[in-house]
Each structure stands twice: as C-alpha cells, then as structure tokens.
Amino acid sequence: MSNISEKRITREELMKHARSKVCLPLDKIASISELRERVCELSPVAGLFKVGKGSFTRFGFDAINSVHRFGAGVFLDLKYHDIPATVRDAAYAATQQGIYMFNVHAMGGKKMMEAAVEGATKASEDYDIRKPKIVGVTILTSIDQAMMNDEMRIPGGVEDQVLHLALLSKSAGLDGVVCSAADLRAIRSHLPHDFMYVTPGIKGTTTPAGDDQKRVFSPGNAVRAGSSILVVGRAITDQPTPEARLQAGYEILQDMARYI
C-alpha cells in the first residue's frame, strides 16, 4: 500500500480513497441542468469535477457552484497563460470561488507562475479561505514527440521538456504539474515527495481515453506510477446509460484500489 500507511484497510476505504483521486471533466455539455445531472449521477465515482473552457464559457460561475452544491471539489481548467499581472488577477478571482485547484501553462514562464501564486495567496488572506492548489501544465497529452519537435520546434524528448517545466513550476512555488502518467518515471525522482501529478489521458479498464490522446495509461498503472489525481472523461461519459457509466466508474476505482 503505497499511499495509505494503515496496516488494515477495508475495501470501502480503498474505494473511497480511489474516488478522491478521480477528476471527471464536465465537457461538451449543452445546458446547466445537464451539467448538474452529470455531477449528481457520477459523484459516487468522482471526488473532483473539472470545469474547463467549454463549460466555463457557457455557464460561468454557475458551473462551479453546481459542483459545490453536490459537495464535490472543482478543478478549474482554464490554463492561464498571459502576462504576470493578468494571471495574478485571474488567480485572485479563481481563489474567491472556493475551488480546489486551478492550472496555468508552465511555458508562460517563472514570473507568470509566481504571479499566480501571489494572486491566490492574496485572495486567500483577504477572504480567509483556503488557497487552491496550483498546477503547471507541461506538455499536453495530445502532443507526442514528433509534434513537439516538428510543429512546436522544441528539441529533445517529451520527458526532458516535461521535467524542465516541472522543475520550473516547483521553483515558482506551484503545488504540482499536469502531465502524462507516462512521464512520471522520468521526473518523480527529481521532485519533492509531496509534489502533485495531475494526469489526463486515462483510459478505462476496457474503454479508450479518446482519439486525440497520444500518451495514455490505465487507471491502476497511473496510480502505480505515482499519479496524484487522474482526469478520467470519455472512458466513463461515453457509456450509453447511467448504469453503464457508473459501472465503468466503479471498475476504474477497483483498478486503482489495487495499487493504493
């Protein structure tokens, strides 16, 4: 048991801990009522819900409030990437919403990431609320080495660039990074024990992660590799019925629980 120190752990406790590590995206949703239905339906298998660019653009803070209404945490996935002053202000505003976590693009540079920490810290102090976790986006899981080298003109291997951006994120005071679970073997030994790893590109036990994901991992293997939070979307939400979606979610928790 790598993440829980107690000698005797019940299956229920393992599943509960696995659920706390699952973040389900609220993507491609047409109405706020549909968003609330999804959160209600899948709260048993997801402790966090990701409010991304689509849902936030459509529904604004109603999306965040809807997740909080069901007692779940929010990962605000807007990937801030701008001049430091703008990101500082955005981080301040995000923190006011009581979210669990938000992200910034690590390629925005150290000063920008430091500004995000400053904004979140100031809002936390001004409103006496918990400062959210801040994670730096390294290389998107939709990007493989050929794309990184040829299209983005970044030389070297993906893992080398992920490590560089992870170390930069740590030096800026961030809590962790967003990366593929496939990158963890190369970077974890260079970073603190309590550094967070948020890993998209997670496929189901019998279902894929999505055609646009290049570097994917199974849930159990992601936990074994050291993932802190697994972003699991289409492996659950593409199932045709509520019963099938819950079943897919529980199978993912069971796969994770083997390595917790």
Looking at this protein, which amino acid is placed at residue 77? D
Q: What is the pLDDT of residue 205?
A: 80
HSE value, Cβ hemisphere, 13 Å, CA-based, for 72: 31
209: pLDDT strictly greater than 60: no
**Residue 150 falls inside a structural domain:** no
Choice between 207 and 130, residue whose per-residue pLDDT is larger: 130
Residue 218 within any structural domain of the chain: yes
pLDDT at 203: 87
Q: Which of 21, 53, 79, 133 is catalytic?
A: 79
216 pLDDT band (50/70/90 cuts)?
Answer: low
DSSP 186-221: HHGGGS-TT-EEEE--B--SSS---TT-SS-B-HHH
Domain that holds residue 216: 11-136+201-257
Phi, psi of 164 (to 5 degrees): -55, -50
The predicted pLDDT at position 232 comes to: 96
In this structure, is residue 251 part of a structural domain?
yes
Residue 5 maps to a domain: no
What's 123's domain CATH number?
3.20.20.70
Chain segment 144-153, per-residue pLDDT in tens: 999 999 999 9
The reply to whether 28 belongs to the active site is no
Residue 178 in any domain: the answer is no
Residue 161 lies in a domain: no
Kindly give the residue spans of alpha helices, DSSP state H, lying in 43-100: 53-59, 61-69, 84-96
Domain count, the chain: 1
